[in-house]
Chain A
Amino acid sequence: MFYREAGVFKTSYAADMALYPLPATRWWLAGLAVLLVVLIPVLASDYTLSILNLILVAVVGAIGLNLLTGNTGQISIGQGAFMAVGAYTAANLIIRAHASFWIAIPAAGVMTALVGAIVGVPSLRIKGLYLTVATLAAQFIIEWIINHITWISGGIQATIQMPPPVVFGYTLHTQAGFYLFLLAFAVLAVIAAKNLERSRYGRAFIAVRDQDIAAEIIGIDIFRTKLIAFAISSFYAGVAGALYSYYLGIANYEQFQIDVSINYLAMVIIGGLGSVSGSILGAAFITLLPVVTRRVLEAAGGLFGAGLDVAGIIPELRLCLFGGLIIIFLVAEPEGLDRLWRNVRTWFRTWPFSY
């Protein structure tokens, strides 16, 4: 948090490459771990936990999209469809093969990664806007396929019931149980993405985003890198989709339509492109937006009395806020919440001698 390095004392490459180079960061992380793992499940109410659970699912999906859109620069409006692929893969494995989540969730990820890589194939020929439109088409086509092939979607309503996951003999019924389950996946997703970012592939992603021709000249296979980015991003999306339908108890394609894809893009934009912590902040922000809107309006509605039909305008107001905030962030702070957070930190770090 708010502490300063006294200098650079690194004596080995291992120290230089450490994810968290300062002891203070590690202490702060340990404190955060205690808060997240011990305190919150014990102290928080079921309602709070249910919101946190939604945020955790969104974190996994947003990190995946950010790897593709933020780090590699390939804009995707297909995240919702990818999540649907993961959800239905997991659901079918569970229903047909009675797979446990140990198999179902990785399998959902792998299946979605394959689909994502196929969607990424047009990047061989097209880039930028054209690729964006191709992912939009993928969204509609995947949605349609899932909806119309009953072998996948399990019937008219395209809904498959999912039994709760069984972890080491415990069946997860409570919000707190799900919270810990989802938290484990979210933490894994964060650590994996942080490590990926400083790996050979992570650097290649950024090189392709910043200047593709230069990247090609220094020996990066652009097409392969883009496909890998699509696959990894879709893996995350698939896992997020599987987790979400586990949490809901059903796999239903209506949970994964284009507005979901747009929500995820908004998380990435508002959080900060190309930043893992930005993805977390953005996921929390967008998930909390409707909740906070409702709370504030209900409080305000109490002030105005019965004259204002509060419940009726919440969805519209949420849309307005959603659109307005995206525009404000784009115009005023293009690097998102992550940048705002770093600004605050820098201010405290250098205080009181900020020059």
Chain B
Amino acid sequence: MPDDLTFSLVLVCNGLLVGLMYALIALGFVLVYKATEAFNFAQGEFVMFGAFIAAGAETALPLWAAIGLALGGMVAFCFGLERVVLRPLLGRPIIAVIMATIGVAALLRGVATLAFGAGTRAITLPIPDDPFFLGPIMLPPIDLLGAGVSLVFLAVFTWFFLRTRVGLAMRAVADNQQVAAAMGINVQRYFALAWAMTGVVSALGGVVWGALLGVDNQLALVGLKVFPVVILGGFDSILGAVVGGLIVGVVESLSAGYLDPLVGGGTKDFMPYVLMIAALMIRPYGIFGKRPVQRV
């Protein structure tokens, strides 16, 4: 029995760490959705592209410069994207924005492989490879770093939205664009700002995930985990992204540990979506999401 308990504990701990890293990606998604109500299907590709920039620059530059370049590149890219693609689509049906971001996803995949090659690149972070041990539980440093970055972002964004003037303006824009505009808030500027913030989160997410998994086209697939996370947590809640990420991480880890031997593998990619369907039927606006008043 103690063995069983230890096994569960290990699974839960790993799940929590991975979950925090999922939260990092989901955070980028939530920031955009919260402010602009755009549904970003390209979040995984943003992360991949950020990782590609960092990995490409790291071969020639020191690490801090490479990360800086990735940050700058992603922010510039997101600014441009908002200006060129998403602004003309304002006020159009949601399928337009969904398809536009799907198009951006395809474009980014193509461009990334054309520019950086199809091989897998590595990002080497100056952290030890040997895992820490906490009793029987193994904690890889890279997971800890990802979790730490994620928690820092959570704290910073919470502070930003609750305590700063710009954050207040963004909340106003998210709440009601027309009223915000009437109060003298430049709505378009805050849209651009939201996308830029997503760029920052995606670039750092890309560095962490790239260091964990290696940088290639497959990295974009982590973006598919965003949907269960944000549905569980709520599309527009930052805290929800973290809690949703933790739930998805733990569920994934537990199903990989307990269900995979029974049904022959692959439940890791599948259980989050089952959970998501359940969440959609019971509480579609998520645990922390704003409950919309609407008729179906």
Contact = CB atoms under 8 A, between A and B. Distances in A.
B277 to A, nearest CB: 5
Contacts of B231: 130, 133
A127 B264 CA distance: 34
Nearest to A318: B110
Interface in B91-118: 92-96, 98-100, 102-111, 113-114
A125 B276 contact: no
Contacts of B94: 75, 128-129, 132
Contacts of A325: 103
Interface in A138-166: 140-141, 144, 147-148
Contacts, number: 136
B106 A322 contact: yes
Given A129-B39, A317-B110, A331-B89, A326 B98 contact: no
A144 B114 contact: no
Nearest to A258: B224
A330 B103 contact: yes
B266 interface: yes
B1 interface: no
A330 B274 CA distance: 32
Interface string A324-354: 1111001100100000000000000000000
B188 to A, nearest CB: 16
A323 B280 contact: no
Contacts of A318: 110
Contact of A75 (B95, B106, B110): B95
B295 A140 contact: no
A316 interface: yes
A73 B296 CA distance: 13
Contacts of A334: 92, 96
Nearest to A134: B280
B104 A141 contact: no
B233 to A, nearest CB: 13
Contact of B280 (A125, A141, A324, A330): A125
A125 B98 CA distance: 21
Nearest to A127: B296
Contact of A323 (B98, B108, B227, B264): B108
A133 B270 contact: no
A136 interface: yes
Contacts of A327: 85, 100, 103-104, 107
Interface string B100-140: 10111111111101100000000000000000000000000
Contacts of B175: none
Contacts of A22: none
Interface residues of B, number: 44
A326 B102 contact: yes
B96 A141 contact: no
B273 A140 contact: yes
Interface string B282-296: 001000000000111
B98 A75 contact: yes
A123 B277 CA distance: 12
B235 interface: yes
A324 B266 contact: no
A133 B110 contact: no
Interface string B256-268: 0000000110100
A134 B106 contact: no
A326 B109 CA distance: 14
Contacts of B88: 331
A147 B264 CA distance: 11
A323 B104 contact: yes
A204 interface: no
A330 B100 contact: yes
B280 A122 contact: yes
A326 B92 CA distance: 15
A69 B95 contact: yes
B99 A330 contact: yes
Interface in A56-101: 69, 73, 75
A265 B266 CA distance: 27
B103 A323 contact: yes
B111 A320 contact: yes
Contacts of B98: 75, 129, 132
Contacts of A184: none
Contact of A313 (B106, B114, B276, B284): B114
A125 B103 contact: no
A101 B281 CA distance: 38
Given A144-B266, A313-B114, A130 B284 contact: yes
Which 3 A-B pairs rank lowest in CB-CB distance, beginning with the nearest? A323-B107, A319-B110, A323-B106
6 contacts: A129-B235, A136-B273, A313-B114, A320-B114, A323-B110, A326-B106
